Structure 1
Amino acid sequence: MSTIVYWICTPFAWLVRLFYNLTGSYGVSLILFTLVIKLILLPFQMKSKKSMVRMNRMSGKMQEIQKKYANNRVKMNEEMQKFYEEEGVNPMSGCLWSFLPLPILMALYYIIREPIVYFMNFGGRAAGLEVVEAARQVIENAGITLTSNPAYEQIEISQIINSQFPDFVAQHSGWVNVNYTFLGVDLNSIPTSSFGMLKEGITWGAVGLLLIPIISAAMQ
Structure 2
Amino acid sequence: MKREQQSAAVRKKILETARKLFVLQGYEQTTTRAIISKAKITTGTLYHFYKSKDEILLAISEDVFEEAVALAESWSKSKSPALIFALEIGIQLQLCQLEKMIAETYTIAYQTQGISQMIDLKGSIRNSILFQTYSPALTKEEFLIRTRSFRGMLQANIKEIGTIKSQTNQNIMSTVLEIGLSIFGVPKKECSETIKKALSILKEKRAEIDKLINNIRHFG
Answer whether TM exceeds 0.5 for this pair: no
Q: Which has the larger radius of gyration?
A: 1
State the TM-score, normalized to the length of structure 2.
Answer: 0.28
The answer to which structure has the higher helix fraction is 2
TM-score norm. by structure 1 comes to 0.28
